[in-house]
A and B are shown apart, each in its own frame.
Chain A
């Protein structure tokens, strides 16, 4: 897709939220294989419970992948200049994650036209799973 122009973007703009889930253990296993994150807490129920968890739980980077997806869909893959993902809480099988973004600032630096955004990923109860931010360089 083509990136929107810098002038067309306003502080406060937000893309349609991205809704992922209800997530399954199969989603976690599939991401484990694709990402090589073989931490057994994410795919081995017996191990995860013995470790004090109520079940396996999702990889932070799976939800982080959804955040990257939101940004690439919003501004175009090639416009993405930076993405930062902070893992706030865990998520579990049957959770539904909603990822939202919002433009927080616009700036011009060294001839680059940059748009700063905040990204938030919450579960179905509104608990924050990821709090992140990103920058897109626009034409």
Chain B
């Protein structure tokens, strides 16, 4: 039976804020409803963001997960999409903008009665491939292993497959949970159960227990946890209602909400820093190089790029060369913050990525490496 789309309609939790707004100004702000399609993980953030960011409501359609979200924004069927992986070049080339929200750890959860605390990625691969069938083989009780996985539409499915299984297929014994959140219930009901799920679903969750992977526990501050993926919002540029919201996502206030469940774009200590506290760091971007013919010799200087504080707000345009013969990328000093860099991936084709500038430190980014990662 085809499952009905799982649509969460969040009531106007911002009404209190709206009311407060009415008390201080005579202008009544009209609330805007935005149709969202995509990752249920990103939707966890949107549900909470809605309760603190005034004037926006999200119609959340999470059944299509990341793959469906990217399709929907590409076809114009959604105003906002969420994906738990990097956007494809095809999507970016179609003029769709991407905003990095944060990073999500993919947690491995077991039944709370299971005493196993830590598994290596090799052990996880064997468990999810069906090569280990009993918990006693990894230091647990004599109990049959029942692996659960989220649906293939979910980016959690493919990222875990890539990062842990090395691209190999899941074992035939894996049972599929749809939507992702349903996996918690399945593992909670199965004493020998094990599953993978976004860490964002586990806030306050006691029915299952996340375990460490390679000795690293999944937390919003643990950058060493080995299984993580980026969370992006995709949108058409020039949407006035969304522009303000996306600026807020990038702000300290927005990142605080992100970090209730996910790893933020900045380290914890930087969130909430005031302008007065901000010092400068250095950015070096290795962009595309194009030939310059100078008296019989070809020089290959780097091409220009833009630094934006948020989508649409140009902060600085960097020629990335001092004259036509300069073959070294320019070292650019910027206030410590997170920036969006827009560079050329090919003549006339753009690539966008975030960089974090830390005080007194050098941040380097290589466009070719970023493109290779996205492929």
A and B: partners? no
State the B residues within 8 Å of A (CB): none
State the A residues within 8 Å of B (CB): none
